[in-house]
Amino acid sequence: MEGTQDVLTREKLDAALAVLPDWRYRLGGLVTVYKAPTAAAALELIAAVGRFAEEQNHHPDLDWRYNRVFIRYTSHDAGGKVTERDTAAATAASEAAARAGAIAQPGLFRTVEVGIDTADPAEIAEVWRVALGYKKGPGGDLVDPYGRGPSIWFQETATPNSSRLHVDVHWSLAESGPVLEKTAATGAVMNHDHAPDWVVVTDAQGNRLCLCTEAGHRPEASAGP
């Protein structure tokens, strides 16, 4: 079953995550990080994930950093949403990680987006798309076709903020507490009006960023706060 037919509802996604403790939901995908005992063991894990991907014809975004492997599964043919194929792949990856002696560190997986305040997204989107070599994604976002750079999304508003660009840093809700505490300790202004979905952080010079979680973020949504 492929395409949109096997997209998971939020209820089914939550049930799947309950038996996938290594994984977190993040902006239309399942993400985790595995720390292997050695770089060689990390490569063994990558090879195992690759073999399963070829067998199932369902491939993850994967990044190798010495003895850590960053993995993200999403179903591009379903519009960048989580499907049963993603949960099956995540299950197989967890089993391969256990065989390789790797431990899950999902809190290390951060996702960064750049938000731009604008009254007219269509007027400026093409400039950003061409300059970055990006493609249009779900909901009008601009995304790196190779999954390397941060996505760009346009926050349509009749009253753009004086600081029009801001960074959204997505953490899993389970790991977000210490990040919020450490950020507040820097002296930044913390606006919790939309917590736990996101917290707006403003530095001493008026620059903004948002610390975001998956709370309240439905699987079919794609835009940031």
As given in the structure block, the two tokens for residue 31 are: 């993400």
Tens of each residue's pLDDT in the chain, 225 residues: 455 678 999 899 999 999 999 999 999 999 999 999 999 999 999 999 999 999 999 999 999 999 999 999 999 889 889 999 999 999 999 999 999 999 999 999 999 999 999 999 999 999 999 999 999 987 889 999 998 999 999 999 999 988 899 999 999 999 999 999 999 999 999 999 999 999 999 999 999 999 999 986 644 433 345
- pLDDT of res. 3: 59
Do residues 76 and 67 touch, judged by C-beta distance below 8 A? Answer: no
Cis preceding-peptide flag for 178 (omega within 30 of 0)? no
What's domain 111-212's superfamily in CATH? 2,3-Dihydroxybiphenyl 1,2-Dioxygenase, domain 1 (3.10.180.10)
- pLDDT of res. 162: 87
Do residues 112 and 147 touch, judged by C-beta distance below 8 A? Answer: no
Phi-psi region of 36 (alpha: psi -120 to 50; beta: other; left: phi over 0): beta
Rounded CA-CA distance 147/110 in Å is 13
Instruction: Tell me where in the chain the CATH 3.30.1360.20 domain(s) lie.
Output: 3-108
- pLDDT of res. 224: 42
Torsions phi, psi of 200, nearest 5? -85, 125
- pLDDT of res. 4: 63
- For the chain, helix, strand, coil in percent to 5 are 35, 30, 35
H or E element at residue 151:
strand 151-156
Residue type, 170: H
Spatial CA neighbour of 81 closest among 4, 24, 142 = 4
Rounded CA-CA distance 201/205 in Å is 11
Model confidence, pTM: 0.88
Fold of the 3-108 domain: Gyrase A; domain 2 (3.30.1360)
3-state secondary structure of 83: strand
H or E element at residue 97:
helix 84-100
Q: How many CA atoms lie within 13 A of 162 on its CB side?
A: 4
Instruction: Tell me where in the chain the CATH 3.10.180.10 domain(s) lie.
Output: 111-212
- Map tokens 């369902």 to a residue: 58
- pLDDT of res. 2: 52
Surface-to-core class of residue 98, CB atoms within 10 Å of its CB (0-12 exposed, 13-18 middle, 19+ buried): middle
Rounded CA-CA distance 8/220 in Å is 9
Surface-to-core class of residue 209, CB atoms within 10 Å of its CB (0-12 exposed, 13-18 middle, 19+ buried): buried
As given in the structure block, the two tokens for residue 44 are: 């063994």
